[in-house]
Structures are given as C-alpha cells and as structure tokens.
Structure 1
Amino acid sequence: MVRFELIPTRNGALIGEILLDTPGTLNAQNLQMVLAMRQQLAQWHADPTVVAIVIHGAGERALCAGGDIKALYYAMLDPERIHEADDFFANEYLLCRELHRYPKPVLAWGNGLIMGGGWGLFAASSHRVVTETAQLAMPEIAIGLFPDVGASAWLGELADGVGRFLLLTASRLNATDALAAGAADWALPAASFATVREAMTELGWLGQPHIDAHMLSQLIDALGGALQPTLPEGNWQPLRAQVTELVAGDDLDTIVARIDALQSDHPWLQNAQMQLRAGSPTSIALGWALAQRAVGMAYDDVVAMETLAAQHAVRYSDFREGVRARLIDRDGAPQWAARPKASDIETWLVARNQK
C-alpha cells in the first residue's frame, strides 16, 4: 500500500508525504498504488497550502525496488487480464511524467534499493537525496523487460556514458557513484530522515515554487555539511574512463563485444559482464534502440514510445519467461528468444489496438 500524510509547518503551510509501504516486497508498486499516487499528487497540486512533497519508503531496505512483477506475470498469462499489465505501465509512466513536471519541490529520499520504477520516481523528483545505503539500478534485462519509466532518456544524461553501461549490464551505482554520475544531488545519513523532515517544517515556505525549491536546496546543503554522511568507495567512479571507452560509439554489436571480451579482476566489472551475458538479447536490443531514439526527444514523446514498447513487452515471450525463471519457478534458466532485428523493433513502436 501507499500512505499519505499532511505535515504542518511552522508558518501554517503543509508538506505532503508519500510513504511506499510494502516492505515485504521492497516497497514495489502495483497499479492501485500508482493510481493512488497520481490522484493524491493532483489534489496536492491544486491545493495552495501544500508547498512541497516528500517521497520515501518504509523500512531500511528500499525506497522502491520497482513494480510488482509477480502480479504482472499472472496478468500476462490471462488474455482477459493482460490489459491490467498495460494499465500498470501506462500509469506508472504517467506518474513519473507528472512528477517530472510537478510545480512544487519534491524531495525523494533514496535509501536502500532504488530500482526500476523506484528509480523512475527518484529520477523525476526535483531534490534527489541518497544515503550511504543507496543502490541504484535498472535491472530489466534480467527479466526480459527494458529500462523504462523515462530511463530511455535520462540514462543517457548520466556522466561519461555510464547510463549506457547500466542499460546493457544491469549494474548498480552506489551513493558515491550516483553523485558522481549526476543521478543524485545530495547525500545524507540514512538515520537522518526524521531530522530532515523536522527541519523542513521549520522553513519559511512562501508557496512560490522557485523560491521554495531554492530554500529546500539550501537546507539540504546545510544538513549535508553538518551531518556529513560516511559514503562507500565508488564502484564505477574509479573505472569511469574505462567504462567510457567500453561504451564508445553507436554500434551495439561492437559495444557488447567489448564488454564480453573484457579481462578484469574488478568485481563490479566482472558482475557487469556476467549480467550482460545472462540477460535477454531482446531486452538489450530493445533498450538500446529506445535509448538511441530518445536522444533529443521531448519527454511526452519518450513516455509515448515507452508505453508502446511496454505493450509489446507484456505480449512477447521474454518478459513472461524472465519473470518465470527469476521469480516464479526460480530455476534461473530462462529460455530467451533470439535477438530481434532492428526492423522488428520498429514495428513494436507503432500504435495499434491491443487485445
């Protein structure tokens, strides 16, 4: 479930709080949660007394580890319910679009796992704070999906080509890496959330979004200087030049071959290589094609493109098969389809009536 609360501030304004509260599934989102967040954000948008939003996850393990993939799997198996999967992805993408454009400051508390749709919420927020436990990833190739929730565009905006590497390998960024890559704006200690929440109630909110956003930024700057979180050593950051070389160019086959042929004793690179080899060839090709198309594309067009891709994904075999192998039967042996041709992918991105 998702919980909402209005937090009163010292000067009478209100802060809207969104708590993703399914810790047993690492705060994974389902359709009901997504619809509830969209509705509540719209109400707060129209309420002049609400001046800012805070998004965080219950427990210590995750902001949000993505969508409720098991629920989607069972919907995909039933032709009478497959529309539920379409509805989930369409609304999840609209939620991220609405957050991306939200006129009031949105602070996302990036504690623990921030994956898939969870990273979508985080990336769309105006004030992105990680803690020392943060782990960011788009692991969709492991289940036959593709990096979505706007990631077709914003992965490409990360520093030194690391977004390309994440797309192809499902690798994780820790807090240090996220700051260096531009995936997060600030770092604060995991134990300081209550302090941040209380400090926000003491701000002199004006109900003027640009000024309020600047005040919130100044507050987080001050808290970061005072609290000084102890962050882990970066995994990607020391390797950023090597990663940039690995993903250079626009030919997917060449880049995949470079990563596959890599000789390294670094665990992060070894894991990336292993995940690339084990991932769905269709997911890799589709994710790459979407990222190439998204360059310079308007955000609305990215949402529309990803929605079409998701409609196809819930119907092609790799997504169902990837979820089955990883989460249902847990045999770890997905039978992936052969990599599609570029022309095949183009047909998937043409609007059509879905049954």
Structure 2
Amino acid sequence: MSCVLFTEHPTADGHLIGEICLNAERSLNALTLEMIDLIQPQLDRWQQDERVVAVFLDSAGSKAFCAGGDVVNLYRSIKGDGDPDFPEAFFTREYRLDYTLHTYSKPVICWASGIVMGGGMGLMNGCSHRVVTETSHLAMPEVTIGLYPDVGGSWFLNRMPGRSGLFLGLTGNPINAPDALYLGLADRALRSDMRDGFLQRLQTLSWNGDAGGLISQVLRELEQEAAASLAEMPAPIREHEALIRQITDHDTVQGMVAALSALESDDKWVLRAKRAITHGSPLSIVMIHEQLKRSRHLSLKEVFQQELILSVQCCRHEEFAEGVRALLVDKDNQPNWVFSSLDKVEPEFVAGLFKSPWPVNPLQDL
C-alpha cells in the first residue's frame, strides 16, 4: 500500500477534485521524503489539468493529519548511519513542496484533524482553505529537540497577533481549533464527522465560477452547523493574550525567558510553557528568537531559502541529533545540550548557523 493515496473525485458537471491522502497511519502520517516525492509531481500534473478544479489534502486515520517530518532518518544521517546528503535533499524538497502549496493556482483544502505538528504545519499552512476540528492539536515543539519552527514557521509565526508567534515558537504550546482561528492558522472549524459530507457537497457543485468562493460558501454553511458543538471549547492562547504580551515585552530573549520562569502560577497552560523553556534547548531558544527577527520582512521565497540554510546547518551540529535521541530514540528525556544555559550560548555560533554553506542556494529558483 502506498504511503500516499491519490483519488480523483468526479463532480456533477464533469470536473475533478483531486484528493491527496497521507497514508502512514502507524507513524501518525509523519512526512517522509518518499511521500514528498509522490505529492510534488501529482500537484504539478493537477496544476496543468483543466478538469481538476480543487485539491483536497487529508490523511488516513483519525489520530493525526501529520505529526511531523522524518526526524529519525535525519538523526541517522547526522550520526553517520545514513546518507550524509539526506538532510539537504529532504529539506530542499520539503520546502519546495510547501512553497508549491502556498503559491498553487487552484484551491487546496487541508482537512487538519487530529495532530498537526512540524511538517504537517508546513503542509497545512500552504493551503488556501485550512479546516480544523474539535480534535485538532497543532504545535511547533521544535525547541524540545534542538531545532526551530521551520516549514515556513518564519512566515506564519511572524504573522500571528501580537507576539504570540514568538511565544509559541519558544514554548511549543499546543493550539486547538478556536485558537487556530484566532491566530490565523485556520480558516474554518468543523466537526470531524463532517469530512465525508463536505467532500460529497463539493462533488455536487457546478464549478464554472470562482472555485475558491464556491468552497468558502460550503465551508461557511457547514461551520454554522458545527458552531454549537464547538462553542464550548476553550481558547487558552486568546485568553492569555495579555500574559503573552507581557512575557515577550523584553528587549532580549533572556529577559523573556526570565520573565516566564519567574511567573508564579498554577495555571496548567503556563506551567507547560515554563517546563518547555526549562527543559528545551538553550541554543534553540536563542536561534528561534533570532530566526523570527531576521525573517520579519522577508518574502515567502526568502523565508524558505533562509530556513534551508538554517536546517542544513542544524544537521551539521550535535544539538538536533541529541534532542532527537533524548526524546524519540532512547526516550530518556535527558538531553545533554551543547550549551547548558542561555547565558552560555555563543552569539558567534548562532550567527554561523545562518551562513549559507553553498555559493547558490538550492531553492534559488523558487
């Protein structure tokens, strides 16, 4: 069985809706290079096919849309047990796919139900119509493995209200459906049991008008039906808006971390954020702050080019591999970080991570 399933659903007026279904349920549909290399050419073909009016991106199973990227193979490569060129190949092709979704000429609907992390966030955020449900659990928890929020995180974290993107990048705190709407990470919230009915509705439409508008109209109607059942869900990020602004209102990332660490609270959401910055990589914390500062005014193309540099450089050092080992391989949760505390992180080391290792960036042609 293929790790990605492609289906062309006929519409009543003779058009097609292309479905891309991530089909690796056992690994929570984590995005592999094989999956990327299947999806990219299919999107390219559908782009040229006049019969295809929209693309529907979803996944097998109910637990996760996509819980991340192929960090285990990246770990093996860094440790010398795999292809040394794998990180560059993986990130180059992953970011090219993300950029394709961001700039696709036809509507792309993402059904982001269940866990959406890392690589899943990259796929979701490139889509024109992003749907979350009561089971959606979004996060960018890279600070816990010595990495940073990539796959366009430099783009969408910087565009969240206030400094919530910076706070979420530093802490990796989870995002549910109401907060995804508040942050601009999702466009509509439906019930998870509405998926099949939604797709069937799309098949009954006449697609001779504005395709994006037709999809929005159906989503708008379904969202009204779902509103009552989703109305009771909390929105902790929106509810902590003032606190987020207060914590991030410092001139240095060290000041932000100190402010959060000094906060006395029994609030579970706050305690989770404190735990992440206490146990996360000090290098990642500094790197994430620098990443978002440097990318604030970059174009989408420049964002992916900078992230490719940063990701490949991260794979040339031990921090990322050590984070993966501690959290996902040995699972001892005892990472031995390169820098034991924020004040020991060397600015020169961080600056070096942003220096391109190539004369021409592999994503120069985006």
TM range (shorter): over 0.9
Number of the residue aligned with 2:106: 104
Task: Return the offset for 1:35.
Answer: 1.4
Matches for 1:164-203 after TM superposition, within 5 Å = 164-203=166-205
Looking at structure 2, the residues matched to 71 and 230 of structure 1 have their Cα atoms a distance apart, in angstroms, of: 40
TM-score by length of 1: 0.95
8 Å CA contact 1:321–1:334 kept in 2: the answer is: yes
Looking at structure 1, the residues matched to 312 and 353 of structure 2 have their Cα atoms a distance apart, in angstroms, of: 8
- Structure 1, unpaired ranges of 5+: none
Looking at structure 2, the residues matched to 80 and 6 of structure 1 have their Cα atoms a distance apart, in angstroms, of: 36
Which stretches of structure 1, 4 residues or more, deviate above 4 A after TM superposition? none
Task: Return the offset for 1:62.
Answer: 0.7
Looking at structure 2, the residues matched to 131 and 227 of structure 1 have their Cα atoms a distance apart, in angstroms, of: 9
TM-score by length of 2: 0.93
Number of the residue aligned with 2:272: 271
Q: Deviations over 1:161-206 (max 9, x none)?
A: 2111111001001111111121111100001100111011112112
1:341 equivalent in alignment to 2:366: no
Task: Return the offset for 1:250.
Answer: 4.1
Looking at structure 2, the residues matched to 135 and 244 of structure 1 have their Cα atoms a distance apart, in angstroms, of: 23
Number of the residue aligned with 1:320: 321
Give the letter aligned to residue 266 of structure 1: D
Number of the residue aligned with 2:363: none
Matches for 1:174-253 after TM superposition, within 5 Å = 174-206=176-208, 211-228=210-227, 230-231=229-230, 232-253=233-254
Matched residue SS, 1:157: coil
Looking at structure 2, the residues matched to 176 and 298 of structure 1 have their Cα atoms a distance apart, in angstroms, of: 28
- Structure 2, unpaired ranges of 5+: 360-366
| Structure 2 CA distance for partners of 1:15 and 1:341, relative to 1, 3 Å | same
Number of the residue aligned with 1:8: 10
Number of the residue aligned with 2:61: 59
Looking at structure 1, the residues matched to 66 and 167 of structure 2 have their Cα atoms a distance apart, in angstroms, of: 22
Matched residue SS, 1:265: coil
Give the letter aligned to residue 179 of structure 1: L
Looking at structure 2, the residues matched to 304 and 187 of structure 1 have their Cα atoms a distance apart, in angstroms, of: 32
Looking at structure 1, the residues matched to 350 and 185 of structure 2 have their Cα atoms a distance apart, in angstroms, of: 28
How many percent identity over aligned positions?
36
Looking at structure 2, the residues matched to 233 and 182 of structure 1 have their Cα atoms a distance apart, in angstroms, of: 17
Give the letter aligned to residue 349 of structure 1: F
Give the letter aligned to residue 343 of structure 1: E
8 Å CA contact 1:116–1:148 kept in 2: the answer is: yes
8 Å CA contact 1:282–1:340 kept in 2: the answer is: yes
8 Å CA contact 1:188–1:229 kept in 2: the answer is: no
Give the letter aligned to residue 206 of structure 2: G
Q: Deviations over 1:201-252 (max 9, x none)?
A: 112112x6xx110111111001111233623212222111111211124421
Task: Return the offset for 1:334.
Answer: 0.5
Matches for 1:16-165 after TM superposition, within 5 Å = 16-78=18-80, 81-165=83-167
Q: Deviations over 1:59-110 (max 9, x none)?
A: 1111101112112211222276121122111111111111000010011011
Matched residue SS, 2:320: helix
Q: Deviations over 1:110-156 (max 9, x none)?
A: 10111011011111110011000111100111111110001012111
Aligned residues: 351
Q: Deviations over 1:20-67 (max 9, x none)?
A: 111111110110101111111111111111110111111111110111
Looking at structure 2, the residues matched to 144 and 299 of structure 1 have their Cα atoms a distance apart, in angstroms, of: 24
Give the letter aligned to residue 58 of structure 2: H
8 Å CA contact 1:30–1:68 kept in 2: the answer is: yes
| Structure 2 CA distance for partners of 1:229 and 1:26, relative to 1, 3 Å | farther
Q: Deviations over 1:260-308 (max 9, x none)?
A: 1111111011001101111111111112111111111111111110000
Give the superposed CA RMSD.
1.5
Give the letter aligned to residue 118 of structure 1: G
Looking at structure 2, the residues matched to 182 and 241 of structure 1 have their Cα atoms a distance apart, in angstroms, of: 18
Looking at structure 2, the residues matched to 291 and 140 of structure 1 have their Cα atoms a distance apart, in angstroms, of: 14
Looking at structure 2, the residues matched to 217 and 159 of structure 1 have their Cα atoms a distance apart, in angstroms, of: 23
8 Å CA contact 2:118–2:150 kept in 1: the answer is: yes
Looking at structure 1, the residues matched to 42 and 346 of structure 2 have their Cα atoms a distance apart, in angstroms, of: 42
Matched residue SS, 2:163: helix
